[in-house]
Amino acid sequence: MTRIFLVDDHPMVRGGLRAMLAAEPDLLVVGEASQGQALLDQLPTTPTDVVLLDINMPVLDGLATTQRLRAEFPEVKVLILSMLSHERYVAQLFEAGALGYALKNAEPDEMVLAIHSVAAGRPYLCSELGLLLLAKEQQTQENAVEIMEGPNPYNFSQRELEVLRLLAQGLTNADIATQLLTSKRTIETHRQQLLAKTNAKNAAALIKLAVEEGILR
């Protein structure tokens, strides 16, 4: 039996989820809360396997709640349930510790699949979001500065090459984080690694060197 806690500031949403999950014999709703702090207050006395968590809530939102759950209740799995489909939200929540992300308009069968996957410790991204992100990635690749498959004299990793390519397009760290579905801090780390490996003083010098070496063309 998978024990589920519903966290959403709209009572009708929680009611709809509870009614849907009641039809599943191996899923049990053990609690409800309208925001993250209320969840955290109840968890010590409410054994829970999976938290279904909205993002936009008062007091303690979904991002902050996920970070607190990872620190204070690491055994509890987090499945984000939101109408927000922008890749930046997806990246931020996975970075914070969520194991799954589904849209509220997902079909009941997909919602149940998402819960089972997260409960089993498997990452889950709903099909609609997956298709959206795939389409954006394809568009990015079409518009990208090409990376040559040959020269790589500085032993850049594949992710460092991706960051280098996007820097060459003039994107900021925040923009690159959005494109690559990761955090701004992670991109800043990759950027510093690129500078350190090449001894370049700044991004402009880094890109100039990469072009001269044939890494970018």
58: helix, strand or coil: coil
Fold exhibited by the domain 144-212: Arc Repressor Mutant, subunit A (1.10.10)
Of 128, 127, 68, the closest CA to residue 98 belongs to 68
Fold exhibited by the domain 2-126: Rossmann fold (3.40.50)
pLDDT in tens, 23-75: 999 999 999 999 999 999 999 999 999 999 999 999 999 999 999 999 999 99
Q: Exposed, middle or buried: residue 150 (CB in 10 Å: 0-12, 13-18, 19+)?
A: exposed
**Domain range annotation of the chain:** 2-126, 144-212
Return the structure tokens found at 147. Answer: 């990376």
Q: Is the pTM of this model over 0.75?
A: no
Q: How far apart are CA 177 and CA 23, in angstroms?
A: 40
pLDDT in tens, 85-121: 777 788 889 989 999 999 988 889 999 999 999 999 9
Q: CB within 8 A of 127, min separation 6: which ones?
A: 106, 110
